[in-house]
Structure 1
């Protein structure tokens, strides 16, 4: 199968960027089944990741009629490109996969403290993209928008849960929520908790976002979610909101995860959901197994993200996860008339 690829930037006109100077940007990447006559080539430019060849801008293969869409949310400080292994893999199995880079929390731009503290804005990024499919009109008309799936890694899993109905009761970085989550900090902002009070004083955009922390981001178009190594931010969810979620949820985490230990995060979430399944990858599988296979540049730049325990083959784990994830999404599909 030939896989098409497109990328671009959309904007949420209802939210400001963190500087307060314009609409919130949402950069995106998309993988999809392309026409068989399209020619695949390698992505150009330096990258931390090993990626598969794609047909840039190729027309959609519309012989399948209607495609199911999976929206992808990256981990803290990552990018849409970090979800390539899953997006490309799902496209090979007949899905359209759309990954976004979350403003202020993405490696494609300058990191912003606001982007790390206000993780709930991620959910609206995904809803905005689903609302704005008109910019890919040739593909949008072939997408089933009644049953949409979501997948997220680490902080992306938090965003996925918001779309399925979870509501945040407290910030994992500040106040009572920080105490509950063990004074959670980020690699990029190890002093995040002490800097939040200053943001309240200096940034009107931040204050408005903070007011939205406990809002409902439920989007009933999302009918199932795949959570890869959900991070400690999920501990800030209100338990009663989790109990009300009816969508199917599949949680996958490594037994050697030191960033988001299964017993503290995934297991906690699994036991509060009525329709979830939990898979623990063994043995000695770490948090960053859900990042792509590294290029030489990636391995040299951040070996801690890409160095796995001996005998662990990241590409093999990814291949199996793509298969089981596609099967999971297929198992949740309804037979609605499109």
Structure 2
């Protein structure tokens, strides 16, 4: 295997030494609506020159945030880029912790908020169709490559995408997988319904109508050839991805699956298994974290976080629960190590 992010181990070691003298810069920017879509709010994390002034971003009463230096100057040089796609109903805050781990190793990180899905937005009920998600990522990437002032210099040969849950679905679309509504819903007339058949209202909102007929844009090819690697964190839904298109994915893919299933999120592990089973074996890494839940990939909850979430959004406190074996900080250490180890390898 050839190195993906750095030409040699010596270069990686030099970068790590340099990063010891840097800080995590953070800023947000807005991309105006284009002819085919909506405006995008993009959060950016990047290696920055230490200034001494810090603040915590992404923190609230229930969740811890990340200490950053807002609007700090970029460090000079061209750097690898990771684009992040949050899960359904989420925002950049959910993967804030991953961004911090990546920046400490020399990456620039960018995450658009997929419009209408963040619980913090006034229009949270206006869920965007599925095909808008990969388009959001590609628009973000184009903006960063065209404007060095947004996040500094980007190495065009070292670009990856990380997605959690529906963000993992997004990442697979960008890698070249194609989704079929007919395949996803083919067993919905059986007595024992597959998980994807139990949410017809949601499926309708994201582009699949009640009779199983999908908007043609759902089946389009949203592959972005600029992306060189994909990390899918407990992704879903997956049952509608055409196996032949998964087999043709050319970029390396890391699939990290949670070993603990909860009643609130059923069959997500089966989705990860399905993806890993049909991707090319030579360029796919599949790992299961036995004591992680689907929500272990989100930010760390404060000691009373579950109670606070439950009070604000009854029935949602489960987002603070893990598998019971280790705390979320320990799980995050394993997850970030797996991601960083994977991203060092060029599997094209």
The structural deviation recorded for 1:227 is 0.6
The structural deviation recorded for 1:287 is 0.8
The structural deviation recorded for 1:103 is 1.0
Paired with 2:147 and 2:267, the residues of 1 have a C-alpha distance of 39
1:1-338 alignment to 2 at 5 Å?
1-16=22-37, 24-43=38-57, 46=60, 48-62=62-76, 65-109=77-121, 110-112=123-125, 114-115=127-128, 118-133=129-144, 137-140=148-151, 142-170=153-181, 176=186, 181-184=194-197, 191-192=201-202, 210-231=215-236, 233-258=237-262, 259=265, 261=267, 264-274=270-280, 275-283=283-291, 285-295=292-302, 298-299=305-306, 300-301=308-309, 302-332=316-346
Distance 1:47 1:166, change over 3 A: farther
Contact 1:172-1:184 at 8 Å conserved across structures: no
- Secondary structure in 2 aligned to 1:68? strand
- Secondary structure in 2 aligned to 1:129? helix
- Secondary structure in 1 aligned to 2:56? coil
Query: Is there any run of 5+ residues in structure 2 with no aligned partner, and where?
Result: 1-21, 310-315
Contact 1:229-1:287 at 8 Å conserved across structures: yes
Distance 1:44 1:310, change over 3 A: closer
Contact 1:255-1:261 at 8 Å conserved across structures: no
Contact 1:5-1:58 at 8 Å conserved across structures: yes
Paired with 2:317 and 2:246, the residues of 1 have a C-alpha distance of 36
Query: Is there any run of 5+ residues in structure 1 with no aligned partner, and where?
Result: 17-23, 201-206
The structural deviation recorded for 1:144 is 1.1
| Number of aligned residue pairs | 310
Contact 1:293-1:314 at 8 Å conserved across structures: yes
Distance 1:35 1:229, change over 3 A: same
Contact 2:46-2:151 at 8 Å conserved across structures: no
- Secondary structure in 2 aligned to 1:97? strand
The structural deviation recorded for 1:145 is 2.2
- Secondary structure in 2 aligned to 1:168? coil
- Secondary structure in 2 aligned to 1:156? helix
Paired with 2:196 and 2:231, the residues of 1 have a C-alpha distance of 26
Residues 225-261 of structure 1: CA deviation (Å, up to 9, x unaligned):
0010011x22111111111111100000111133254
TM-score by length of 1: 0.82
Paired with 2:154 and 2:85, the residues of 1 have a C-alpha distance of 19
Residues 202-246 of structure 1: CA deviation (Å, up to 9, x unaligned):
xxxxx9x92211000111111110010011x22111111111111
TM-score by length of 2: 0.80
Distance 1:171 1:293, change over 3 A: farther
RMSD over equivalenced CA pairs, Å: 2.9
Distance 1:150 1:171, change over 3 A: farther
Paired with 2:204 and 2:152, the residues of 1 have a C-alpha distance of 48
